[in-house]
Amino acid sequence: MAIGEGSDAAEAGSRGPDPEFTVIKEETIFKRYVKVMDRQVRYPNGKEISFDVFFTPSNHFVTILPFFTATKEFALIREYAQGPNAMCPCLATGGYDLNKHKDVEDAARSELSEECGLCEGTWERLLPADHPGAMEAKWSATRFTPFLVVDPVTDPIIRQLDVEEFIVRERMSAAHLEALAYSGHLALPSATTVFMGLKKLRDMGLL
């Protein structure tokens, strides 16, 4: 299958079909939890280019935006991020594990419990069920599925964080959360989820 096939990209006017890009070869050049592959691609004009492409075990993760109707507040976290080497704001986020989770919603429920100490509530998937997931970046094979959960409750089961996680839980108003998303300080998948979740809540008449 050519790269990009079946991606359900939004139509751009009356343009024709995208050209095909053929993967000639892939070779692992680094692997620990993440994997970096040397992907060689043949362009439509015959040119062959080598790229570094980022992979994870399932190539999929989830983001979760919890909202409380009584207070009009959202739950989020501040988490140690190894790239910037700093505590950074984000939503509950975690990988979809094919060996542990039934589906991406099961992964989202697990992450909400682990990182925010919340469960249940009314769940809204913010992309269609047949969507492959939002792209994380052009150099990454990973995609994510964003969720909104309305009125979750405190989870009576205390779940252990992963050994590398350092997390502080926070609550925030809609105005502060939206400003944070626009500020450039919120992790991009989280910011995308915030914008989609706020629109969904406004469409539902909850904000």
pLDDT in the model for residue 16 = 85
% of the chain at pLDDT higher than 70:
93
What is the pLDDT averaged over residues 56-71?
A: 96
Report the mean per-residue pLDDT for the chain: 92
15: Cβ contacts below 8 Å, ≥ 6 apart: none
Distance CA 123, CA 108 (A): 10
What is the reported pTM? Answer: 0.89
Taking only the tens place, the pLDDT of each residue in 20-53 is: 999 999 999 999 989 999 999 999 999 999 999 9
198 contacts: CB under 8 Å, gap ≥ 6: 174, 177, 178, 207
56 Rama class: left (phi>0) / alpha (psi -120 to 50) / beta: beta
User: Given this model, what pLDDT does residue 158 score?
Assistant: 81
